[in-house]
Amino acid sequence: MTRAMRSENFSLFHDNLDDYTKEIIVEKFYEDGMEVVEDYVIKEDKIEFFLNGNKFLSVMSIAQHQDAHILGFLLSEAVIKSFDDVESIVISEDGLKVEVIANISEEGYANLFKEKTLTSGCCIGVTGNAEKVFDCSFINTDYRVSVKNILSNMKLFNTSSKLFDNTGCVHKAELVLEDGEIFVAEDIGRHNAIDKVVGLASINKKDIKKSVLYATGRLSMEMVVKCVMHRIPIVVSKAAVTFQGIKSANEHGITLIGFARGNKMNVYTHSGRIDV
């Protein structure tokens, strides 16, 4: 069975904005008048996730990188350990249903149906792992990155995409691997964007244990927990961090960086990985 099966009529990697946006008429008001203009808004879809024949989740997302999204989510929730556990991923022709056949952790799967935590994420993220059901060992790595490298990558990361230029309504996540290879994903939800970018790296059989994750959203506890589950040692955002995010990063060995803008950044935990 093919590892990542897709409909012949559907491509995850097209750049046709019509697939993700709707053109609307907007009345713009100013202090001295108004005008009627054409504009674009993001199109969010309800996408259904199936695992081994059972529907287990519906997500409000943009219909892009759906295979990476479900894979990243299952990895985040410890339902699977790696892409090697996946036998097939099939995306429906309309892009709104994703079906995975995989060898799963029964404990991880059962945890999906226990009491959930409604997270602080945009578009209301839901996770079964915010209570640290699955213990993770401390991330202990000799991987180091310079301040110059991080800020330089952040400037490139902050370059807007076609989708953001047209809607102003997507978060972005980017993984920069040790060899410089980059994976990027966007979504209306910052959690979704992280799941997608991790899923993309996993599909491509990349080791992300020596990488830096760049994110556009605030780094709260559940965002950090995702990175703990994926063993990502350094996490950077141009936005703020929360106290619980700092506590989780410190406990699990993640270098947490916020307000990375221009020529400065705040390092909240495990600064020994950062070279001046």
Per-residue pLDDT of 94-147, as tens digits, reads 999 999 999 999 998 988 877 555 444 444 444 444 454 455 678 999 999 999
Residue 58 belongs to some domain of the structure: no
Of 119 and 201, more confident:
201
Q: How far is CA 178 from the centre of its chain?
A: 19
28 annotated as ligand-binding: no
Reduced to 3 states (helix: H, G, I; strand: E, B; else coil), residue 124 is coil
**Dist CA 150 CA 144 (whole Å):** 11
CATH number at residue 198: 3.40.140.10
Which of the residues 122, 123, 169, 227 is marked catalytic?
A: 122
Residue type (1 letter), 93: E
Reduced to 3 states (helix: H, G, I; strand: E, B; else coil), residue 174 is strand
pLDDT in tens, 211-233: 999 999 899 998 999 999 999 99
Q: What pLDDT is recorded for position 222? A: 87
pLDDT in tens, 88-107: 999 999 999 999 999 999 99
Residue 98 belongs to some domain of the structure: no
264 annotated as ligand-binding: yes
Q: Is the pLDDT of residue 12 over 60?
A: no
Beta strand pairing call for 211-215 and 274-275: unpaired
Reply yes or no on whether 122 is catalytic.
yes
Q: What pLDDT is recorded for position 105? A: 93
Reduced to 3 states (helix: H, G, I; strand: E, B; else coil), residue 50 is strand
Give the single-character DSSP code of 99: E
Q: For a pLDDT cut of 70, what percent of the chain falls above it?
A: 86
pLDDT in tens, 239-260: 999 999 999 999 999 999 999 9
Start-to-end CA distance of the chain, whole Å, equals 49
CB 122 within 8 A of CB 189: yes
Residue 245 belongs to some domain of the structure: yes
Element (H, E) at 171: strand 171-177
Q: Is the pLDDT of residue 5 over 80?
A: no
Q: What pLDDT is recorded for position 165? A: 78
Q: What pLDDT is recorded for position 213? A: 98
Residue 170 domain boundaries: 147-269
* Tokens standing for residue 259: 């307000």
Residue 32 belongs to some domain of the structure: no
Residue 206 belongs to some domain of the structure: yes
Q: What pLDDT is recorded for position 136? A: 67
Q: What is the mean pLDDT of the chain?
A: 86
Q: What pLDDT is recorded for position 122? A: 45
Residue 97 belongs to some domain of the structure: no
111 annotated as ligand-binding: no
Where residue 177 falls among pLDDT bands split at 50, 70, 90? Answer: very high
Domain count for the chain, please give it.
1
Q: Is the pLDDT of residue 238 over 70?
A: yes
Q: Is the pLDDT of residue 152 over 70?
A: yes
Mean pLDDT of 34-55: 93
Residue 213 belongs to some domain of the structure: yes
pLDDT in tens, 49-75: 999 999 999 999 999 999 999 999 999
Where residue 15 falls among pLDDT bands split at 50, 70, 90? Answer: low
Residue 227 belongs to some domain of the structure: yes
**Dist CA 186 CA 216 (whole Å):** 10
261 annotated as ligand-binding: yes
Contacts of 136 (CB under 8 A, 6+ apart): 228, 229, 231, 252
Give the single-character DSSP code of 232: -
